[in-house]
Structure 1
Amino acid sequence: MQKLYAVLFLLLIASLAEAQEKRYSTTNQEAIKNFSLANQSIDEHLYDEAIALLQKAVDADSKFIEAHALLGDVLRMRRMFKPAAEQFNQAIALNPEYNKGLYLKVADCEIPNAMYEQALRHLEKYLTYTNNTPQNIAYAQKLIADCKFSIQAIAHPVAFTPVNMGADINTADDEYLPVATADEAELIFTRKINNNEDFYKSDKVGNKWQKATYLSDVINTPMYNEGAQSISQDGKYLFFTGCNRPDGLGRCDIYIAQKKGNDWAKPFSIGAPLNTSGWEAQPSISADGRTLYFVSNRKGGYGGYDIWLSHLTEKGWSEPENMGPNVNTQYDEQSPFIHPDDSTFYFCSNGWPGLGGKDLFVSRLGKDGKWQKPENLGYPINSSGDENGLTLTANGSYAFFASNNLKGFGGYDIYTFEMPESVRPKVVTYVKGTVQDKKTKAPLEAAVEIIDLQKNTPVYQDYSSEDAGTFLATLPTGKNYGLNISREGYLFYSDNFSLIGLTNKKAFDLSVLLSPIEVGNKVILKNIFFDTNKFDLKPESKAELQKLVEFMQLNPTVKIEVSGFTDNVGTHEANQTLSEKRAGAVYQYLVSAKVNPTRLIYKGYGEAQPIAPNTTDENRALNRRTEFMIIAK
């Protein structure tokens, strides 16, 4: 937007210079007097006064071309585009060759009024003139691209039926920037009352959002504005923008607050290098909580406001990286939203071809790991005005946004709409679980790790909540995952599940019971894998093996038996040998990882000790397993 305003200001200065250098097209002294007074008002930045004086000038002489042109300039600077276009068109009608710059100016005012075909004709006329500045030529070409796109977009509209979220969410004040947790149990948004921004929340009971309430006195303040927030998928962390705070590094900085029970802990600045002396705002946190997208006007960008990202490392947040030319332009990109699939990115921009103002776009992560050029969400989702602040539900079916262009309760209201299929993200689901002590059923705070088994990399690492033992993680479908849950003094929990071929978005609900470390207790290592009739550990077993190594390191007095089992297919002798070799493979891995062999034994049990009848393929798969058992503590 800064670049756009620079263009507007330069064009206004040029208009003033021309008006002062040329002899006027009128001899009407009343018109000339008001025109001269208007120029003085402009010099003093009294634009409303200048508009009134210029209106008097054209009323005194309707053919006073210089007054029409200058009135158009001032109205344009005040973003009063419709009357500005009318004044420019009157000046052009009086003399089509008076000033070539009028064709660029009038087009710039016609686009916000969705007058795309008229604007296109004016822009094409402007480019027929010689000696245009390179800056103005580039701006005209950008506006031509906007017009051509808009004409096509309107001819091919997308489905769009926005639904107001109702009086429990919206009021006569402004409500905007809504975000929901992955399970859609909670909605947090910004409400602006008497020019002060604070957070409000609504809980969903059944399928109905409840009356919104004030989020927290710990986060909201009477002195500063809080807004532009992003909530973690499990609702435990709130990233938000705080401006002009005493602990800030710049005008606006990014802050974090953590939920403790039913309330929030005191927020803290995310600090350098993410925050700077400039302007950082509008955070969006990835599903795994390890990548933060945000907006900044810091040096090193492409111009205006750019979208940047930072990764959470062992040392803190990394030096931010610009998202590059497939997202950012020389104009403004804002309102980032990374979907939980981690490969679909929504934002607004006035730099890419659109219908005027800021439009909403989607960019997808390519197979090369780079963001692809964005796609406009289309008309009528986008309009000739500004659209921003789009967020989606975790399942990708619905979006939240705010608008003051629809008939609502007053000001900006929050709406939902069903996303067109073509711009939806990948299908994701979420795992939601509770962790409890097996004996007492008391909730436990435990480390939860979900692993992409193909890549052997964690996609989720966090702790279940201290008060309720709950956790929630969103996951893209089409993959196999391993789940490990651990806590000091307990045996860790191991499981795996497949989301390949899943087309629904229903959650997986898990109830995990952790057993204390006691002699005789066992853990089935569900993420240890072998090929059929083989005993070589498959690569996707590594994460689970490392978890077992960590367990032995954290419990240095524990001794275990690694046990191998098979189903009843094949001979007894072959099954016994295979089970021994598979248990031995795990034993050797532990020894190679510096676990003292005096703390380890391994045994094969063949087809003995089945945990399910060997009557189905599913049961036989359960019986083919590797376990470890505590033999001393």
Structure 2
Amino acid sequence: MKRLISIVLICLPLFLSAQERQYTSTNAAALKLYKKARQSMDAERYDEAIGFLTSAVQTDPKFLEAQNQLADLLRLKMQYKPSVEHYLKVIAVDAEFNRAIYLNLGDEEVDIADYPNALIHLQKYLTYPGITPQKKQLAELLVANCQFSIDGMKHPVPFKPMNLGPEINGPNDEYFPVVTADESELIFTRKINGNEDFYHSTKVKGKWTPSVYLSDQINSPQYNEGAQSITQDGEYLFFTCCDRPSGLGSCDIYVAQKQGDSWGSPINLNSPINTRAWESQPSISADGNTLYFSSNRKGGYGGYDIWKSTLTDKGWSEPENLGPTINTPYDEQSPFIHPDDNTLYFSSNGWPGFGNMDIFVSRRDQDGKWQKPTNMGYPINTSADDNGLTLNATGNYAFFSSNNLKGYGGFDIYTFEMPVPLRPKVVTYVKGTVKDSKTKDPISATVEIVDLGNNRTVYNNTIEQNGRFLATLITGKNYLLNVSKHGYMFYSENFSLVGDSSKKQFQIEVPLQMIEAGNKVVLKNIFFDTNKFDIKPESKIEMQKLILFLADNPAVTIEISGHTDNMGNDALNQTLSQNRAKEVYQYLLTKGVPAARLTYKGYGKTQPIASNTTEDGRRQNRRTEFKIISN
């Protein structure tokens, strides 16, 4: 989106008598052509006016009013190089003819990446007295752009874009690509005959299948749908639609939920996210609880700002502006929050860059505050509009669209390997299917994942009958997984990624057991130090899950059991397992669970569930369980 600079079309009265104002030309034919051009401009027939002005300056090359007017019109039509040529012809004849030329000329030279000359002309413009504060601010930003660009082009970043191929791209425009965390699905916007709709493709054996129309529930023939964000598990699609009857403003943000292999009807997010202003380009956080978007609503710092809203028990919160470390007096758009929840990519024409919209990255500090954005560098950014960047979950590849790379026609979707300094934190994912342990059929359930370091829930979703779920995990942390369903025992799992900087993925099958006497659950998130039986603080979340299970099933009685591996003294192992089981038992008592519903026992090494010949097997054998005694 080009920064708007007022183009003052020179429409001075045309007096031809000797006593009236004289132009820089006395050529009658040139003046006649100039008059015709003015009449065409009054009727907004700009192409016709350009023709008359071109003839006028050919007739008299030193007709400066016509040269200036022609440059302005070419600029209006975004014909930047010829516009620059005509501005230069004006100042070659009279350097002081019109000081506004230097701002317009400098801006156009930034557009064509002629930064050294743009710097000269912009700095001259700033020497004039009486410049309005708005234009001075703009000229200073353009100067900063030039200085940044001259240095930035000397230090290019690695950039090898690859077209996603004819399965995705065609003669129409394709843009705004997003992928699920496991990169199994790509959703993008395609424009056909001026109408924007969603298409998608799935990845099979590492290749994208031919893209197909996403859904009649979401796409519509009369409205434009685009600028979308998909949750990491692919179950919710947040997107923009403009001018729908259900909308509150020009463009609103909607959400649709997946229903099996199809999509449900979109729902307008309504107030306070949507207003009578323009709300668009949503990006949903990995946990699904924070929505980032761009808006020109009141209370911002410039034209379009980036805002965020948090999902609470009462719905979406009043949007919060990300503040002046992200937003400027100009435009910030296309936010993309990476699944690491700490790295934000967005486009801006208000921070120093290569001209127009550039892509920037900002990271949170330890206090959760966004830091000053970093320009992603040349040639990722250029003098053209650069925006709409998204990344895969692992952060090593980015997706974007361009019409400058000789693709299949119009805007095409590309991918490139992200330079290491610009990457987010390392993220992996856990992907699973919940099944009935007896029938092996997929079932619906509630899946929760908690960061054990800060007790923060990073994923909480009630999955559908297909039993599938997918959630992203930041490496370097410990996570609790809990899967529950009414009438079933819950399932416990632990993912320890401390000291792990790999991108390995976890694919698991979750067998949920019916509440029946004899069934057992391993409590994988109850922790003890080696050879000790004091419950570690990070175990409290798992203990609370057990307490809630007992509260929801008041007829159930259980046995808490402790187990060890076969290493060391058998008697000590027996005592240790007994003490650990007793510690859990006593904790439950202190939280109000009746003693009549609880027993405990230590089994030492006598009931292994894996081989004791490997460290992984011994780790599995060192465990705490609960068993249904009666229900």
Same-fold call, TM > 0.5?
yes
Paired residue for 1:487, among 485, 492, 495? 485
Question: Aligned equivalents of 1:448 and 1:36: distance in 2?
Answer: 73
Which range is displaced more, 59-68 or 531-540? 531-540
Asked if 2 retains the 8 angstrom alpha-carbon contact of 1:30 and 1:57, the reply is yes
**Displacement, 1:85?**
1.1
Aligned to 1:428: 427
**Does the residue aligned with 2:253 lie in a helix, a strand or coil?**
strand
Task: Evaluate the alpha carbon distance shift between residue 19 and residue 365 of structure 1 in structure 2; reply closer, same or farther with a 3 A threshold.
Answer: farther
Aligned to 2:200: 201
Counterparts of 1:189-588 in structure 2, within 5 Å, are 189-467=188-466, 469-567=467-565, 574-588=572-586
Task: Evaluate the alpha carbon distance shift between residue 500 and residue 97 of structure 1 in structure 2; reply closer, same or farther with a 3 A threshold.
Answer: same
**Displacement, 1:609?**
3.2
Q: TM-score, normalised by structure 2?
A: 0.95
Aligned to 2:177: 178
Structure 2: give runs of 5+ residues left out of the alignment: none
Counterparts of 1:69-84 in structure 2, within 5 Å, are 69-84=68-83
Question: Aligned equivalents of 1:237 and 1:612: distance in 2?
Answer: 39
Question: Aligned equivalents of 1:593 and 1:49: distance in 2?
Answer: 84
Asked if 1 retains the 8 angstrom alpha-carbon contact of 2:563 and 2:621, the reply is yes
Q: Deviations over 1:15-53 (max 9, x none)?
A: 556999964212223323333443444444443333233
Asked if 1 retains the 8 angstrom alpha-carbon contact of 2:476 and 2:501, the reply is no
Q: 1:106 is aligned with what amino acid?
A: L
**Displacement, 1:273?**
0.8
**Displacement, 1:600?**
2.2
Q: Deviations over 1:424-474 (max 9, x none)?
A: 11211111111111111011111111111111221111133312x111111
Q: 1:375 is aligned with what amino acid?
A: T
Task: Evaluate the alpha carbon distance shift between residue 204 and residue 568 of structure 1 in structure 2; reply closer, same or farther with a 3 A threshold.
Answer: closer
Paired residue for 2:589, among 557, 582, 591? 591
Which range is displaced more, 335-344 or 580-589? 580-589
Task: Evaluate the alpha carbon distance shift between residue 8 and residue 22 of structure 1 in structure 2; reply closer, same or farther with a 3 A threshold.
Answer: farther
Question: Aligned equivalents of 2:401 and 2:322: distance in 1?
Answer: 25
Asked if 2 retains the 8 angstrom alpha-carbon contact of 1:8 and 1:77, the reply is no
**Does the residue aligned with 1:119 lie in a helix, a strand or coil?**
helix
Structure 1: give runs of 5+ residues left out of the alignment: none
Question: Aligned equivalents of 1:440 and 1:207: distance in 2?
Answer: 32
Task: Evaluate the alpha carbon distance shift between residue 18 and residue 446 of structure 1 in structure 2; reply closer, same or farther with a 3 A threshold.
Answer: farther
**Does the residue aligned with 1:8 lie in a helix, a strand or coil?**
coil
Question: Aligned equivalents of 1:318 and 1:149: distance in 2?
Answer: 38
RMSD (CA atoms): 2.1
Asked if 2 retains the 8 angstrom alpha-carbon contact of 1:297 and 1:306, the reply is yes
**Displacement, 1:59?**
2.3
Aligned to 1:85: 84
Question: Aligned equivalents of 2:27 and 2:543: distance in 1?
Answer: 92
Task: Evaluate the alpha carbon distance shift between residue 113 and residue 19 of structure 1 in structure 2; reply closer, same or farther with a 3 A threshold.
Answer: farther
Q: TM-score, normalised by structure 1?
A: 0.94
Question: Aligned equivalents of 2:424 and 2:315: distance in 1?
Answer: 29
Asked if 1 retains the 8 angstrom alpha-carbon contact of 2:14 and 2:35, the reply is no
Q: 1:319 is aligned with what amino acid?
A: E
**Displacement, 1:535?**
3.0
**Displacement, 1:590?**
2.5
Which range is displaced more, 603-612 or 257-266? 603-612
Aligned to 1:125: 124
Question: Aligned equivalents of 1:342 and 1:48: distance in 2?
Answer: 49
**Displacement, 1:593?**
3.1
Question: Aligned equivalents of 2:598 and 2:14: distance in 1?
Answer: 93
Question: Aligned equivalents of 1:562 and 1:598: distance in 2?
Answer: 13
Asked if 2 retains the 8 angstrom alpha-carbon contact of 1:19 and 1:66, the reply is no
Question: Aligned equivalents of 1:247 and 1:320: distance in 2?
Answer: 20
Q: Deviations over 1:342-395 (max 9, x none)?
A: 111111111111111111111111112111111111111111111111111112
Asked if 2 retains the 8 angstrom alpha-carbon contact of 1:336 and 1:348, the reply is yes
Q: 1:34 is aligned with what amino acid?
A: L
Q: 2:389 is aligned with what amino acid?
A: L
Aligned to 2:57: 58
Paired residue for 2:602, among 593, 601, 604? 604
Asked if 2 retains the 8 angstrom alpha-carbon contact of 1:463 and 1:471, the reply is no
Question: How many residues matched?
Answer: 627
Q: 1:487 is aligned with what amino acid?
A: K
**Displacement, 1:588?**
3.4
Q: Deviations over 1:538-568 (max 9, x none)?
A: 2211211111121112112111122233445
Asked if 1 retains the 8 angstrom alpha-carbon contact of 2:610 and 2:617, the reply is yes
Question: Aligned equivalents of 1:574 and 1:203: distance in 2?
Answer: 55
Question: Aligned equivalents of 2:318 and 2:452: distance in 1?
Answer: 29
Asked if 1 retains the 8 angstrom alpha-carbon contact of 2:475 and 2:502, the reply is no
**Displacement, 1:229?**
0.9
Counterparts of 1:38-57 in structure 2, within 5 Å, are 38-57=37-56
Question: Aligned equivalents of 2:541 and 2:433: distance in 1?
Answer: 22
Which range is displaced more, 177-186 or 596-605? 596-605
Aligned to 1:164: 163
Task: Evaluate the alpha carbon distance shift between residue 340 and residue 520 of structure 1 in structure 2; reply closer, same or farther with a 3 A threshold.
Answer: same
**Does the residue aligned with 2:282 lie in a helix, a strand or coil?**
strand
Question: Aligned equivalents of 2:173 and 2:610: distance in 1?
Answer: 60
Percent of pairs with identical residues: 61
Q: 1:110 is aligned with what amino acid?
A: E
Task: Evaluate the alpha carbon distance shift between residue 173 and residue 523 of structure 1 in structure 2; reply closer, same or farther with a 3 A threshold.
Answer: same
Q: 2:195 is aligned with what amino acid?
A: N
Question: Aligned equivalents of 1:532 and 1:329: distance in 2?
Answer: 54
Asked if 2 retains the 8 angstrom alpha-carbon contact of 1:434 and 1:464, the reply is no
Which range is displaced more, 494-503 or 481-490? 494-503
